[in-house]
Structure 1
């Protein structure tokens, strides 16, 4: 019931530094590649040996003029805008497309002694379709104190072919030393995009949605609707990192997704496909700081998978694997395993058992009320009880609450059970994201206000995850 349409790419802004000095610690991560977008050409990129480097339709085209013995015999390189800090972690990402399928190489290395001082050295398999590549690495110490100049290289030489590779969106940024406290507001959220596209035609409504929703920090949802998941996650997390803010992500692609309600059904084909997906998702976050809500409804809805031929125990095993993957590949992400809402699994001991099987021990904690309308006080009491029950076996596990649409609490209900949660009338925006004095660790807007729950309630023709300005205005005004 929470499928969300694909988002446009988030634009990363290159920030150039003038001198080769160690970067000053700051909340925002500096962009260490001065020209990675190539909108104005390929200035700053050298063509080395048998490489020809030119601009081509907003990308950098690197052509090997002939076959060569080693990859670096046809290479391009650019010096970084600041040196690296040994022992710190960095993320290099870029888009690449080849004239044919083959395996070039990339390095991040000290200029004077590249063979002995490579902080990153890896190959990457290009095809004739552009895709995002992303690598997290730890900076090595220079050969000597004066060896501070660092370069990023792309090596396209090969004994077998003289190929061409196109590059775009080259980015190198350091992981912040401290965790950002401010939450990221994306200009590519569904309400922000709607506001941008309708600012002139529907000014009054656009201003209301902009002020009430689009300018608030809202989670970005990720699922199988992204053709290049690495690019989608990297664009979003990188933009947050450049702004010095904390990115907010929802992983929503488990097999038998939304098994109880089916409005947002779908997800990965099986456990193996999901493992590959969640691994790509986690690696795209890498060492960077983030908040992740893991699979809304999956724990609470596990018994429903029997209705579509699944096994609840498999559901828990898939989630357990996901928590392990995220812990290993996104170590600075605070992951909250979703636990439904206070009216769903009323037997709290049962919920604790399920959360244990689903890997709560590997996560920061759990989330509650995602896409629901339960009162914050009611949810806080429920969450505190679950937290206390989890403690003996799993340690202190804080919880977070989705307050995006609970300003009027839950719908009183009628003869149609789904009216309680599926675009019910007379609901209202809840308290803005903030850290409360007690109870939950944080109050977030996980569900995007204005995104439909499904073809139901006061939006009978709006599919799940599609933004509706009418739904958004109903939440802003507290009525249909």
Structure 2
């Protein structure tokens, strides 16, 4: 899976926006205050500096949809990330919308695959997350924490198993305390086996946040992801972790049937249901976490992970004659 690594987006955001003070977080256990939470009514932020918006009107169908700002240490080091986040969330506040972010910097990230990287150790990760938390404080964002980190847990190619759960727990706690709705990523319904995934989520601190995210940068249909998420939340409830909710990434899951094993810039993928907060029972809504049009890696005509590619965007839009390349 690939992160969004658009350096120009964050730099333009950071350079072009003044910082503004925002209200502090409401008390989570006060029902009357919770009902006034702006995230319930104001809609998701559509950032005109996201990658698709830089490609001109040909990709307006992607650019007009709310998408998350991905935060990785390779592009936003410790001494910059707080300012980048403040600029982005301030821009969302000026628009009267809810910002979405992704934290994607855990040590041994992506376990040697196309988006491998992350911070060099636990102390560096905690410090970096603390800077992200400083940047979001007061802005009431949605934050997806570490796509695929739980899915990869226990794989031989990942070296930091026990530390990974502790770092995830620390990140969820820190970001929740800063006022974010934190969704700890739970992989997806096709990532099997997952008999112990609810237990791993509990150990990783899912109960300290809002809930879970599923299908980030993947292609599973919404109905299957909702069934998967509901099953995880039921199991967590049996273990005493209650009140959780979930979101599903629908940025690329519009194809009628995904092809198992073909998950890196697949030629058959299509845009999915538009991002929207729905608050239907435990289902908080659909998000576009992955940026449609950005590569998963150098497979099926794509460039390096996180790079924009016209060809990939054209395929997702279902164009009969996609462009020749990136």
TM-score range normalised by the length of the shorter chain: 0.7 to 0.9
Answer whether contact 2:114 2:305 (CA < 8 A) is retained. Answer: yes
CA separation of 1:458 and 1:279: change in aligned 2, threshold 3 A = same
Answer whether contact 1:427 1:478 (CA < 8 A) is retained. Answer: no
Match of 1:179 among 4, 16, 38: 38
In 2, Cα distance between equivalents of 1:450 and 1:335: 25
In 1, Cα distance between equivalents of 2:85 and 2:114: 24
Match of 1:208 among 58, 67, 86: 58
Q: Does 1:235 align with 2:96?
A: no
1:179 positional shift: 1.3
Matches within 5 A, 1:51-450: 171-175=19-23, 178-180=37-39, 181-195=42-56, 207-210=57-60, 212-224=61-73, 225-227=75-77, 228-259=80-111, 262-304=113-155, 306-308=156-158, 310-328=159-177, 330-331=178-179, 333-348=180-195, 350-392=196-238, 393-413=240-260, 417=261, 420-436=262-278, 437=280, 440-450=283-293
RMSD of equivalent CA atoms: 2.1
Answer whether contact 1:450 1:472 (CA < 8 A) is retained. Answer: yes
CA separation of 1:367 and 1:178: change in aligned 2, threshold 3 A = closer
Structure 1 window deviating more from structure 2 (390-399 vs 366-375): it is 390-399
Structure 1: unaligned runs, 5 residues or longer: 13-94, 96-167, 196-206
TM-score for the superposition, normalised by structure 2: 0.86
In 1, Cα distance between equivalents of 2:17 and 2:44: 24
CA separation of 1:426 and 1:179: change in aligned 2, threshold 3 A = same
Instruction: Give deviations 1:249-290, integer Å, cap 9, x for gaps.
Output: 00000000011x610000000000000110000110012210
Structure 1 window deviating more from structure 2 (178-187 vs 371-380): it is 178-187
In 2, Cα distance between equivalents of 1:405 and 1:377: 14
In 1, Cα distance between equivalents of 2:100 and 2:133: 13
TM-score for the superposition, normalised by structure 1: 0.59
Answer whether contact 1:373 1:409 (CA < 8 A) is retained. Answer: no
In 2, Cα distance between equivalents of 1:233 and 1:171: 10
In 2, Cα distance between equivalents of 1:278 and 1:270: 12
In 2, Cα distance between equivalents of 1:297 and 1:434: 22
Q: Tell me which protein shows more strand as a share of its residues.
A: 1
Tell me the secondary structure at the aligned position of residue 66 of structure 2: coil
1:409 positional shift: 4.3
In 2, Cα distance between equivalents of 1:9 and 1:242: 18
1:194 positional shift: 2.6
Structure 2: unaligned runs, 5 residues or longer: 25-35
Q: Does 1:467 align with 2:326?
A: no
In 1, Cα distance between equivalents of 2:120 and 2:23: 34
Tell me the secondary structure at the aligned position of residue 38 of structure 2: coil
Number of residue equivalences: 301
Answer whether contact 1:10 1:236 (CA < 8 A) is retained. Answer: no
Answer whether contact 2:148 2:185 (CA < 8 A) is retained. Answer: yes
Higher relative contact order (CA 8 A, sep 6+): 2
Tell me the secondary structure at the aligned position of residue 394 of structure 1: coil
CA separation of 1:255 and 1:184: change in aligned 2, threshold 3 A = same
